[in-house]
Chains A and B, each alone.
Chain A
Amino acid sequence: MAARYVSIWFRYLKTDWCSLDKPQLKEVPFVLRSPSHGRMVIVAANENARAKGIRIGDVLADARALVPGLEVLDDMPEVWDKLLRRLAEWCIRFTPVVAVDPPDGLLLDATGCAHLWGGEEKYIAAINRGLSNKGYDVRVGMAETPLVAWGVARYGVNPLVPAGENTNALLALPVEALRLEFEITDRLRRLGLHKVRQFISMPRTSLRRRFGAEFLRQLDLALGRESVPLEPVMPVEPYREQLPCLEPVLTVAGIEIALRELLDRLCTRLEKEQKGLRTAVFKGYRVDGKWMQVEISTSKATRNREHVFKLFALRFSSLEPGMGIELFILEAPKVEPYSAQQERMWDASGGLEDVRLAELIDRLANHVGATRIKRYLPDEHYWPERSIKLAQSLQEKPTTTWPSQKPRPLQLLDPPERIEVTAPIPDYPPMLFRYNGKLHHVARADGPERIEREWWIEKGRHRDYYCVEDDEGYRYWLFRLGHYDDEKASEWFMHGFFA
């Protein structure tokens, strides 16, 4: 697949950014100033100011004379790097590989991305629209090499260079599009070489003699004969430690040492920031270019090294070092505030808030699966299946009391099992019932207890519950669905066993 690059040029990056907060600046000539050699020099000017003839590098006093009522702000050099980086992170929606291209551009590796937007025109339009909506005036170029994309964005007429047209597009560009040093561009211009096509076919030896090796390199970059790897912007993983190894690690003992080292660094940092981790990912990058990872999660924020290590150790069997691991990375994607004071209070206090309990639950959860560990709280429903809800955390307290007026069976069948019943007259408890092929004679019974279905949740018939005891002394919870009906036999169900 042919490589495709998109270069984004923020024409008025600095002034556009200042106008985001103060929209009124957009309407007036506006510049940023910075001291240079004992005088104030303009470092950025908005469209309005440039239309009035102000150029970057002009002395501020001259510009003021030229344009009365010029708005001036101080330059903020520390902002621009961060701003570009943030914009690059925003652009990750268009392609996973986005690089910052200082001072006022971004470079996107769009290979194989455009079809997701329905073609390259639409892709470029989407980028244009997205950044315009954010308040930036941008120009975009798309080509086969980063340098041509850069040149097209700034000096080209048509932003899109179709695949295969790269060289032709380059020929039409001015010499500035090669991103050369000012002296070289100036020399080319003075020699009357304004466009790339005028010198591209000249012998390389004479070009090198006159303009230097750097000039040829830029030319090769533009033609795609050479390439420079991009340094993609990664979304920052704030809690991330990495450990490159001098030699590939093959053994479990080696992996353990690496993990302990990384955990120590991460936990020290968490301690400083009064945080604890809830999830952690341990990645190993192998020599053969593959990578694998293990993930753990905890039920409560923790920065207990030994505990997290044990959780990882349970999963070590899924790590395959292959030819060896050369880089280890430990990340904590989810952290929560967690202060050391809490730790002291909770430690060994017993009950649900005990740290050791949380650690046990983590160990079990990482082995059998977190969804298999349950704790229940009362819920305000009479319907037996809905009378309990799952607790979200170990610390969650019941919001209502456990119902204790009516007897509930210690074992509840889910779902209730159909049984055959002989009952004397309506609303009397059954005399006989057959369950699992065995006939039970009812000796004593309590009931009925009618439980209505909660019509605002689901439709259906009510249940009339009976607690019955058979002649052996076992107690069952039976119910009849709905009212007695003369025509149809009633449906009876077994729903639980009492102690």
Chain B
Amino acid sequence: MHASVADRIKDLKAQIMRLEGFKSATGTWPDTSTRAFPWRSFPLGAVHEFLCGDRVDVSPTAGFIAGLLSHLYSKQGVILWISASRRLFPPALAAFGLRPECVIFLDAARERDVTWAMEEALKCPALSAVVGEIRDLDFTASRRLQLAVERSCVTGFVIRKNLSTINTTACVSRWRITSLPGATDDDMPGVGFPVWKIELLRMRNGQPGCWVVRWMNEEFVEEQLHVAATAGPERKAI
């Protein structure tokens, strides 16, 4: 009896998630971190928020999103990248497993066009994902984005560039990606593979966490050593 009630609740929870637009994805995300996500899979059909202060920080964030998308979607998927101050250089996306010709850029003239275009794009099921570099996103706007994806199941990524106006939003998660010194094997000279500290600050129905991940051979590889060394104390500080 007790077990069946728990099952019912689990079932109902699953139904609610479906109604909220969640899709389960089968990505090659590092195993240890999947428990951070509801159902141990990255939620698609939702809006994710990335905090990104310095303009230099946009690069690791963009790289992480690109790497994520290359695992979550087929190569044919079209991505719309909306920004009012874009510096993204398309050929570099190829290194993160995306096909740069499948990325459409919208360089808006005004900040308010970004939010409008993002909402409009999130309603279009022909897209795989929409990335928007948004300065200020108020709660109402984020709620509108969330409602748009619930109908179309497109995944939205909001890159917040103005950390001074961070507020409560309706986004399903909040991330911060920062660069760490690159990884080289056997003390080879040079810069090596990019290493990022991935902080999951909030995840609806999931568990926040912090990982250090290396991007190598078009895959995320978790760096065990760094987690203890660098990520541990930082996590408490947040």
Residues of chain A at the chain B interface (Cβ within 8 Å): 348, 350-352, 354-357, 359-361, 363-364, 367-369, 372-378, 384, 387-388, 391, 397-398, 402-404, 407-414, 443-446, 467-469, 471-475, 496-499
Contact = CB atoms under 8 A, between A and B. Distances in A.
A473 B89 contact: no
B59 A497 contact: yes
Contacts of B100: 376, 378, 388, 402
Given A410-B66, A475-B182, A499-B62, 14 more contacts: A348-B126, A352-B78, A357-B126, A360-B124, A364-B120, A368-B106, A373-B104, A376-B105, A387-B91, A391-B101, A402-B99, A409-B92, A410-B62, A498-B191
B191 A445 contact: yes
B117 A368 contact: yes
Contacts of B58: 410-411, 497
Interface stretch (B108-116, B141-149, B160-168): B108-116
Given A351-B78, A363-B120, A388-B91, A411 B127 contact: no
Interface of B is mostly: mixed
Interface of A is mostly: mixed
B89 A412 contact: yes
B91 A403 contact: yes
B195 interface: yes
B6 interface: no
B90 interface: yes
A367 B120 CA distance: 11
A471 B182 CA distance: 10
Nearest to B125: A356
Contact of A364 (B90, B106, B180, B190): B106
The 5 closest A-B pairs by CB, nearest first: A499-B63, A412-B89, A356-B126, A354-B126, A357-B126
A376 B101 CA distance: 6
Contacts of B24: none
Contacts of A404: 94-95
A372 B85 CA distance: 12
A413 B58 CA distance: 13
Contacts of A373: 104-107
B194 interface: yes
Contacts of B62: 410-411, 499
B88 interface: yes
A375 B63 contact: no
A374 B80 CA distance: 10
A374 B117 CA distance: 14
Contacts of B233: none
30 contacts: A348-B126, A356-B124, A361-B104, A372-B106, A372-B107, A372-B108, A373-B106, A373-B107, A376-B101, A402-B94, A402-B99, A403-B94, A409-B92, A410-B58, A410-B63, A410-B92, A411-B59, A412-B88, A444-B191, A444-B192, A446-B191, A469-B181, A473-B195, A474-B179, A497-B56, A497-B87, A498-B194, A499-B63, A499-B92, A499-B196
B170 interface: no
Nearest to B75: A351
A411 B179 contact: no
B76 interface: yes
Contacts of A402: 91, 94, 99-100
B60 interface: yes
Interface in B146-205: 178-182, 189-192, 194-196
Given A360-B124, A367-B117, A499-B62, A412 B104 contact: no
Interface string B50-78: 00000110111011101000000010111
A204 to B, nearest CB: 70
B228 interface: no
Contacts of B116: 367
A461 to B, nearest CB: 22
A372 B116 CA distance: 14
